[in-house]
């Protein structure tokens, strides 16, 4: 892709407020977007997440009042809840990750052990709050990745943090399985009467956001 095409896509995308409920993202493209989530980089490559595709329309209807009544929750073609694993599961997760890495066989056993130690040390050096924040931060990388990928595929999206996490977690029975929601991503196609589509992009100029050192 040429530079100008990349920037055209990123200028075209916007946080879609009104989706056309009749337009569905083709399954092949949606599957590619799930692969985008899977391929997201994370600290140590640890992938402390799960991405829940909410397929049941009844659940989406129930989620909407917990999400500032945002219409994207029910009207977008697809809805994904991006979750982090519980901080209490992190060491178990690291052990699973290490076993998986052993299976791949691209690192010598001694190196894998050193890597395991480093990961454990890192998570043990954080207090509970820091660990939660660190886990959440990993999930935001996946969110950024899918937003950009949607844009490149001419698919609209809306990142959503405006929701009551406790209520959504309870509805989806996430804590039972050691998960907590971080953000939601609504995916689909803009409605032609979404006024936000034609609003000017509001970003600070490059001279204000880039510094050199
Ligand atoms: C983490 C995050 C959470 C957001 N939550 C919401 C939300 O709940 N509802 C919404 O309509 N937009 C939400 N937005 C969209 C932002 O308001 C929007 O990205 C920002 O104003 C920039 O505009 P643009 O994305 O249209 O260029 C969120 C964006 C991010 C990155």
Its CATH architecture, for the domain 3-85+140-191, is 3-Layer(aba) Sandwich (3.40)
| Distance from the alpha carbon of residue 105 to the mean position of ligand 1, in angstroms | 41
* Binding site membership of 66 for ligand 1 (Cβ less than 6 Å): no
Note the pLDDT of residue 39.
98
- Position in ligand 1 atom list of the atom nearest CA 144: 31
Read off the tokens for 16.
């879609």
| Distance from the alpha carbon of residue 107 to the mean position of ligand 1, in angstroms | 40
Full-model pTM: 0.97
* Binding site membership of 40 for ligand 1 (Cβ less than 6 Å): no
The domain locations on the chain are 3-85+140-191
Q: Tens place of pLDDT for every residue, the chain, 213 residues?
A: 899 999 999 999 999 999 999 999 999 999 999 999 999 999 999 999 999 999 999 999 999 999 999 999 999 999 999 999 999 999 999 999 999 999 998 888 889 999 999 999 999 999 999 999 999 999 999 999 999 999 999 999 999 999 999 999 999 999 999 999 999 999 999 999 999 999 999 999 999 999 999
* Binding site membership of 165 for ligand 1 (Cβ less than 6 Å): no
């Amino acid at each position: 892709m040429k530079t100008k095409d990349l920037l055209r896509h990123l200028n075209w995308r916007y946080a879609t407020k009104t989706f056309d409920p009749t337009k569905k993202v083709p399954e092949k493209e949606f599957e590619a977007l799930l692969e985008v989530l899977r391929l997201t980089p994370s600290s140590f490559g640890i992938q402390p997440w799960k991405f829940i595709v909410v397929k049941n329309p009844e659940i989406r209807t129930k989620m909407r009042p917990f999400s500032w009544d945002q219409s994207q929750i029910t009207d977008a073609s697809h809805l994904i809840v991006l979750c982090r694993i519980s901080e209490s599961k992190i060491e178990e997760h690291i052990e699973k990750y290490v076993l998986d890495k052993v299976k791949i066989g691209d690192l010598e056993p001694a190196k894998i052990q050193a890597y395991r130690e480093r990961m454990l040390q890192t998570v043990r050096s954080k207090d509970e709050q820091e660990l939660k924040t660190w886990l959440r931060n990993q999930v935001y990388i996946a969110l950024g990745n899918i937003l950009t990928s949607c844009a490149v595929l001419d698919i609209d999206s809306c990142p959503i943090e405006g929701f009551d996490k406790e209520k959504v977690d309870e509805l989806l029975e996430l804590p039972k399985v050691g998960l907590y929601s971080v953000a939601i991503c609504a995916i689909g196609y803009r409605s032609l009467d979404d006024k936000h589509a034609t609003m000017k992009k509001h970003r600070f100029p490059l001279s204000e956001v880039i510094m050199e050192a």
